[in-house]
Amino acid sequence: EQRVFSGVQPTGNLHLGNYLGAITKFVALQQDYDCIYCVVDLHAITQDREIWGGPEGLRSSTRQVTAAFLAAGVDAEKHIIFNQSQVCAHSELAWIFNCVARIGWLNRMTQFKEKAGKHRENASVGLYAYPTLMAADILAYRATHVPVGEDQKQHLELARNIAQKFNVDFAESAAERGYPDGFFPLPEPLIGETAARIMSLRDGEKKMSKSDPSDMSRINLTDDADAIAKKIRKAKTDPEPLPSELEGLEERAEARNLVGIYAALADQTSAQVLEEHGGATFATFKAALAELAIEKLAPVNAEMRRLMADPGHIDAILTDGARRAREIADPNMNIIKDIVGFIGH
Ligand code: TYM
């Protein structure tokens, strides 16, 4: 049995990286899998309050991410969209996984190091334990496939290690309950060939991120056509025209990024984009890119606005999704608790 699970944090500023690296992939996978897409509000509060915006900011960002899923084309009736905090299984399983994962494993997580910054002693315990909650998100549903951008690869490996260690530690108990191969599948990351890592428009060596202080570094899903055009026009580039072959992009991070964005938006490969646009100056190519980006993003933007105007409707979708999510996760939790040896399940 195969199932897709993925999550997006409601921390404001959903951007083109989230959209192309994750959300459009969520949409495509609906054809072939049962999918669960989660707005991970429990994860959002691991960082400083100013990043997630306090209670009002959290509510509004949670609705914004939900609106983005829907506007991009996730079908909330055939599949499941919900917010993490409505389903207790996530927190409960995260606790069990905190006792399976090793401190040494978490110490290797590069995202913690980046997010905690210099004052690691001051980071929340939640930020440190973040990847065990992420493993719980996936494994509470025994999901097998997880579409993510490249930055989540290490967290996915950790989730596999946790699943594997649980399966080994509780092999006998699981086998007695009808799971001779262990209770958890080892979830596989689905990382796209294009758009797995969209970079900042200001610096081709840095990934596009919600937390970059410069708004010019990213295209937000809430940006209007003028903002999109301006950000692309001002994007950092080098003076050379576009090459006609991929090798010509090797030492040119910014050019590679813009070609990659074009390719992802046009559903082409970078090689195909170069075939068509090789030799073009950046003035010309950026105009074509801006036009394409606006053409693809404007309808999403408009639909998000329409949905956000009715928060009650969005909240109802989340609550219905949470109910259906619990129907899958709760029976799994009972088995997991029984496997561990907790009485009463
Ligand atoms: P988050 O909220 O930071 O990002 C959401 C998704 O967007 C992808 N992404 C990018 N892809 C390409 N280029 C970029 N510049 C870029 N920036 C972000 C991320 O890889 C991600 O797929 N820990 C996760 C959320 C999470 C989760 C999960 C994911 C929680 N539980 C369970 C999968 C399964 C995160 O912080 O994503």
How far is the C-alpha of 234 from the C-alpha of 98, rounded, in Å?
45
Residue 229 lies in a domain: yes
Categorize the per-residue pLDDT at 218 as very low, low, confident or very high, splitting at 50, 70 and 90.
very high
- CA-nearest residue for atom 36, ligand 1, is 9
Q: Are residues 259 and 328 in the same domain?
A: no
Structural domain includes residue 212: no
Q: Are residues 99 and 176 in the same domain?
A: yes
Same-domain status, 188 and 233:
no
Question: Is 213 contained in some domain?
Answer: no
Q: Is the CB of 9 under 6 A from ligand 1?
A: yes
For the Cβ of 218 lying below 6 angstroms from any atom of ligand 1, the answer is: no
Ligand 1 within 6 A of CB of 242: no
- The confidence score (pLDDT) of residue 38 equals 99
314, 297: one domain? no
Same structural domain, 111 and 86: yes
114 C-beta neighbours (distance < 10 Å), count:
11
Split at pLDDT 50, 70, 90, the class of 177 is very high
Domain-located, residue 184: yes
Residues 192 and 322 in one domain: yes
CATH number at residue 78: 3.40.50.620
Could you tell me if residue 167 is inside a domain? yes
Neighbouring C-beta atoms of residue 282, cutoff 10 Å: 19
165/85 same-domain check? yes
Buried b (16+ CB within 10 A) or exposed e, 294-317: bebbeebbebbeebbeeeeebeeb
Is the same domain home to 174 and 277?
Answer: no
Token representation of residue 173: 């108990």
pLDDT for residue 193 = 87
pLDDT digits (tens, 9 = 90+) for 245-290: 999 999 999 999 999 999 999 999 999 999 999 999 999 999 999 9
214 assigned ligand-binding residue: no
**ipTM exceeding the 0.85 mark:** yes
Mean pLDDT of the chain: 97
On the question of pLDDT at 1 being above 90, the answer is: no
21 CA to centre of ligand 1 in angstroms: 8
Q: Which of 45, 124, 111, 39 is nearest to 80 (CA)?
A: 39
State yes or no: pLDDT of 194 exceeds 90: no
274, part of any domain: yes
- Our count of domains for the chain comes to 2
Atom of ligand 1 nearest to the CA of 207: 15
In a domain, 204, yes or no: no
Q: Which pLDDT belongs to residue 320? A: 98
CA of 303 to the centre of ligand 1 (A): 22
Same domain, 161 and 287: no
CATH number of the domain that residue 242 is part of: 1.10.240.10
Q: Which domain holds residue 256?
A: 223-306
Locate the ligand 1 atom nearest the alpha carbon of residue 199 and give its number: 15
Residue 25 resides in a domain: yes
What was the pLDDT predicted at 12? 85
- The pLDDT tens digits of the residues spanning 35-74 come to 999 999 999 999 999 999 999 999 999 999 999 999 999 9
Give the HSE-up count for residue 107: Cα atoms under 13 Å, Cβ half-sphere: 3
Q: Ligand 1 pocket, 149 CB below 6 A?
A: yes
Residue whose CB lies within 8 A of the most ligand 1 atoms, among 4, 18, 41, 139, for a mutation test: 18
Report whether pLDDT(133) > 90: yes
Judging by beta carbons within 10 Å of its beta carbon (0-12, 13-18, 19+), is residue 174 exposed, middle or buried? buried
Q: pLDDT digit string (tens) for 143-160?
A: 999 999 999 999 999 999
Dihedral sign, Cα of residue 313, residue 317, residue 320, residue 323 = negative
117 and 89 both lie in a single domain: yes
